Amino acid sequence: MEADVGSRYEIPRTAEFLRARAYTRVALQLPDEMLKDAAAVSRALRRELASSGGGGVRVFVMADTAYNSCCVDEVGASHIDAQCVVHYGHACMSPISNLPAFFVLGKAPLDVDACASSILECSRKGSKHILVLYGLEYAYALDDLRRTFEELHKSNSCNSEVKYADILCSVMSPSSNNADENNYPQSSGNSCHVDLSIKSDVSTFLNNRCSMECSSSTHKYSLGGVTWNISPQEKMEDYIIFWIGHDNSAFANIVLTFNKCEIVRYDAIRNQLSTDVSHLMKVLRRRYYLVEKAKDANIIGILVGTLGVAGYLHIIEQLKEMIRAAGKKSYTLVMGRPNSAKLANFPECEVFVYVSCAQTALLDSKYFLAPVITPFEAVLALSRGREWTGEYLLDFKDLITSEKQEVTSATEARFSFITGAYVEDNCTQESMEQSETSLTLAEVTEKALSIQNQNNNAVLYQGRAMSSIDYLKARSYRGLTGDYEGPAPDSILVGRTGRAAGYNDEKTQSAQ
């Protein structure tokens, strides 16, 4: 059992990393499905460290993450003053802000021979090249898969080129002062387990990201923790994407981002191919509907879905500025993992923008009172003259810019596909600074028009409120207020004291 834990959770490699860095306080982050092994993993790791003089290392297990288990929980680790986080299981590989992270991706079972045969079968059916992408839990078998396919390729006539994506990193640091990190031993089977350093400065971070993706000789892509290159003369539509893994959020990220590509999924559990991604295309059509809903919204809530992904504060400020320039009101909400009950406490918000990592950005909101959209969809809804061409971005880092966004004109009438009529957006807050005479006229007009909505002031009535205060005024019940109309209340009386079995005054009466 201990040997199995040491192999599956890569205990020797983890211990070597911790010893090389001389860390003394380490946080272990395990997803819910791995928590049953948490005690065995921590014991094996402490034993391995003690055997080589690292017995002073304190290991803490984080059993519950504040947001998503695929992201590094820097907030939870900071509560115990951890110096680094060892992240187990599926990871989105989102850049981190404060603490270094070491990733143990796991080893899901994979029939290498059957998978290689499926790649060969896929390459025979068309003339396009094959791009092999995969869930990170299958990265350990990549070298064996490549070698097995090459043997099949030699014995079978096949002209299609097969390209394999590599792992983005196994060590991630928020600073660039780690030139020696590539010298640490990496697990076998991963052809590109290198260290990725992200500077906290936004402008430097943006420059690093662009330099990674674009060069004169190749175009580099990175998505969901994997990375690959194609030549400048090629496009992603020239490839058939062969996905190895489950139909999960990582696969949805691939399908929606490269929705113009032909995609084949290999189910490693059933050992069969599937080309049906119609349900995800339906998701894409529904997202377009939510964009149209966001265009008509006056009050927008910004849901904070991460506190550790680098750049999340910058994109929140960018969204707030964009919403303000469009003449709408925004509220920033921090509530952990959102659900329908939590969001129902803010019925004045007509739409929510969810700022999170790419693999958890698509929040199913069909049971919510208001739709939840991604930052990319918010940009589509608020940008002037921007039409949806089918491009879809789930990673908000692709939207971060130092330039001010051009938003829709506040005085221009537009056609609303939701109401089926032309509507005029409200004026921006800067133009609402009017003289006292103008405000007086506006108040008189508001009183004259208030009779029209006197039967619609239900608790959930939104109307055309421009802020939460306007929405509160339209509610039938506003809670306890200081204004009291009617007769004065009775004087305050002192109640009974004691227990219900025998109050103090009852004991006195019985004694008499």
Mean of per-residue pLDDT scores for the chain: 78
| 231 Cβ contact list (under 8 Å, min separation 6) | 217, 218, 219
Three-state DSSP state, 23: coil
Query: Per-residue pLDDT tens for 252-262?
Result: 889 888 988 88
Strand pairing report for 262-267 and 239-244: parallel
Lowest mean pLDDT among 61-70, 97-106, 206-215, 297-306: 206-215
pLDDT over threshold 80, residue 128: yes
Lowest mean pLDDT among 253-257, 348-352, 425-429: 425-429
CA 155 – CA 143 distance, rounded (Å): 19
Instruction: Report, as an integer, the average pLDDT of 219-231.
Output: 89
* Most confident by average pLDDT, 10-14, 214-218, 434-438: 10-14
Determine the residue type at 179.
Answer: A
Q: How confident is the model at residue 195 (pLDDT cuts 50, 70, 90)?
A: very low
Looking at residue 434, its pLDDT comes to 41
- The DSSP element (H or E) to which 332 belongs, if any, is strand 329-333
How would you list the strands of the sheet with 25-29, edge to edge? 58-62, 25-29, 84-88, 101-104, 171-173, 195-197
Instruction: Report, as an integer, the average pLDDT of 119-136.
Output: 88
More reliable by pLDDT, 285 or 8 = 8
Residue spans of alpha helices (H) in 92-173? 112-125, 142-155
pLDDT over threshold 70, residue 235: yes
Q: Which residues pair with 140 in a beta bridge?
A: none
| 258 Cβ contact list (under 8 Å, min separation 6) | 236, 241
Measure CA 153 to chain center.
39
Q: What is the DSSP letter of 427?
A: P
Instruction: Tell me the percentage of the chain whose pLDDT exceeds 70.
Output: 73
Q: What is the DSSP letter of 286?
A: H
Q: Where are the beta strands (DSSP E) in 195-322?
A: 195-197, 219-223, 226-230, 239-244, 262-267, 272-274, 299-304
CA 169 – CA 26 distance, rounded (Å): 19
Angle at CA 365, nearest 5°, toward 410 and 74?
A: 95
Determine the residue type at 194.
Answer: V
The values of phi and psi at residue 496, to 5°, are -75, 155
pLDDT over threshold 90, residue 424: no
* The pair of three-digit structure tokens given for residue 69, joined into one six-digit string: 């288990």
Cβ atoms within 10 Å, residue 211: 10
Looking at residue 400, its pLDDT comes to 77
* Most confident by average pLDDT, 174-188, 382-396, 411-425, 453-467: 382-396
Contact 142, 164 (CB under 8 A): yes
Contact 54, 23 (CB under 8 A): no
Q: Where are the beta strands (DSSP E) in 365-477?
A: 372-373, 413-416, 421-424
Q: How confident is the model at residue 477 (pLDDT cuts 50, 70, 90)?
A: low
Q: What is the DSSP letter of 478?
A: -
**Sequential DSSP letters for 62-113:** E-S-SS-TTS--HHHHHTTT-SEEEEES----PPBSSS-EEEE-------HH
Instruction: Report, as an integer, the average pLDDT of 33-52.
Output: 90
Q: What is the DSSP letter of 383?
A: B
More reliable by pLDDT, 474 or 382 = 382
More reliable by pLDDT, 88 or 416 = 88
Q: How confident is the model at residue 480 (pLDDT cuts 50, 70, 90)?
A: low
Lowest mean pLDDT among 157-171, 232-246, 330-344: 157-171
Instruction: Report, as an integer, the average pLDDT of 380-387.
Output: 79
* Most confident by average pLDDT, 34-38, 209-213, 460-464: 34-38
